[in-house]
Chain A
Amino acid sequence: MGKKDEVSKQFLDALEFRGIKRRDFLKYCGATAALIGLSELYGPKIAAALEKAAKRQPVIWLNFASDSGCTESFIKATYPSPAEVILDILSVDYNETIQAAAGKQAEEILAASRKAGGYILIVEGGVPTKKGHGMIGNKEMLDVLKEMAGPAIAVIAIGSCATDGGVPAAKPNPSQIIGTGEALQRVGISKPLVNMDLCPVNPQYLVGVVVNFLLLGKIPDLDSQGRPKMFYGQTIHDNCERRAHFDAGRFVEKFGSQEEALGYCLYKMGCKGPMTYSACPKIQYNDRTSWCIKAGGPCIGCAERGWTDKFAGFYEPLPGVKIPGLGGVEAGADKLGAIAAVATAAGIAVHAVATAASGRTKGKDGGKK
């Protein structure tokens, strides 16, 4: 690492002033390097890149149909954390939930940003496509997205509402809510898009994507669903702290039982960890305090598309299937298969009786001719 990669004393002093020790900051940069798949030697480089991001990257943060849980997960830190410093590198010009401006003033900021262009567009929440079901300043949310996505350099959809509609798009989806990717396709805008499924999104994931952008000048590698591979490359099950109990066959059968107290595997309680791609077990929430499974709750699979419907019955291993021809009657796959097997056995019994009655077994030449 050359001299130019080092962080200036001034910058570190400024951090000290905010209550962040130099050592903590550099440790955090090293951890962030590991997070985005770089060697820890890149830590100082990240620190330098953060300092040298002289022109703060402008960000427009749009809130659509959601509960603003993702905003909450960012602003609820109780003390200034290194993550906040990194996020301070961004110049969040517009965020309805936390900005001071309102009404005409807010509209003016948005118009000015649109004219300037070159910002990262962060989308939180799904886009209602039914007329009048979601409007900001007398404009349909879909039109707002269309206006703002045009001059953006990249779009980051955070939280499962933004990626595919999430909770507000759950059946029967009265507002016909769609995700950002689909909405952009519908209005004919093609932009680099990063999907960050999770409900709410993990602040560390956004830090990783932002640092990746500042350091390498591009969005990270994405998987088949447009999610950063570095956070969505492995299943929760593969990294789960309770995985040993799974392999050993030690399962929680009932909440409130001895097995639960012992921290056994939650697979039989409907845990969707084996089907869900996310780095939750490694990164955890609230400054690595805890996460769903550590807290004793089975994973509900909120990092997967359509989890509200496809993983419905959060304490059931698999959702029910609509039986064809019976209009809305649902049954589990096990029941469906058992019914088919019993029906087959009954059919065989009837056929066997008919065969005996027909006298076929008594003939000498058999059925062939």
Chain B
Amino acid sequence: MKEELVKDWSLGYILDHWIRVVAIAVLVFTGIYIHTPFIAGGPDSTIMASMRFFHFVAAYTVVLGLVVRVYMAFKSTFDADWKDFSIIENLKNVPDVLAYYLFIKGSHKDYRKYNPLQAFAYLFTGIVIIFTAFTGAAIYHGRPFLIFPMESFRWVNNLLGGESYTRIWHILAMWYFIVFLLIHVYLAITVSMINKDRTLTSIFTGYKLKKH
């Protein structure tokens, strides 16, 4: 059996991934502060204004990062992977992977880049990012991207039953990202240990070990 290093992620994918990680970390930290300010400001402090500023900058980053990611899914010259997210195709293969994860089967089929559950998780994360952006814009009361008029997202509040509920959904979305992070990192470590193919380090180096 031969082993060789194969490029799994281009620089674009790696940068897109890590920028998103940093931005979401900033969003969670500043978001918790904005919701429950845990540091009191002094006479010359601008702490809440700064927290809000970095929250908005990071929010724009995540939204634009998603735009870039969707663009790469269709147009990347390295690996346009939009077909891997096909819902119908992936639904067929869910039992296979689920059986493996639940120790019913000892192995699963070989999938191109993402297994079906993985593809669903990433697709859903994209949807949650959009949802969080909309609820965030609704409680922002400003002019998102300076192109949307004031209050152009107020319909989100009406849809969710009032602004207090928009805020609750926005907070629950944050917890989704935390739960996602836990599972994502756990599976990345476990898969690296099981397959011994450097999955975990591939998102830093771009290279994965392939066996023939």
Contact = CB atoms under 8 A, between A and B. Distances in A.
B110 A341 contact: no
Contacts of A345: 182
Interface in B84-102: 100-101
Contact of B164 (A247, A311, A337, A355): A311
A249 B100 contact: no
Interface in A245-292: 246-251, 267-268, 272, 274-275
A251 B195 contact: no
A368 to B, nearest CB: 5
B40 A367 contact: no
Interface string A217-254: 00000011100000000010010000000111111000
A146 B100 CA distance: 66
Interface residues of B, number: 51
Interface string A49-73: 0000000000000000000000000
Contact of A344 (B101, B103, B171, B179): B179
Interface string A189-220: 00000000000000000000000000000000
A248 B46 CA distance: 4
B183 A247 contact: no
B47 A249 contact: yes
A73 to B, nearest CB: 25
A366 B46 contact: no
A366 B197 contact: yes
A310 B164 contact: yes
A341 B41 contact: no
B192 to A, nearest CB: 10
Contacts of B179: 340-341, 344
Contacts of A305: 162
A319 B164 contact: yes
B17 interface: no
Contact of B172 (A319, A333, A355): A333
Contacts of B69: none
A367 B196 contact: no
A250 B40 contact: yes
B154 to A, nearest CB: 6
Contacts of A272: 164
Nearest to B162: A310
B108 interface: yes
Contacts of A268: 36-37
A186 interface: no
A3 interface: no
B74 interface: no
B81 interface: no
B158 interface: yes
Nearest to A358: B103
Given A333-B168, A336-B172, A366 B195 contact: yes
Given A246-B48, A304-B162, A369-B110, A364 B196 contact: yes
B186 A368 contact: no
Closest 6 A/B residue pairs (Cβ):
A249-B41, A337-B175, A366-B195, A249-B47, A247-B49, A275-B163
13 contacts: A224-B154, A238-B141, A248-B48, A250-B40, A268-B37, A275-B163, A304-B163, A338-B175, A341-B178, A368-B107, A368-B110, A369-B107, A369-B108
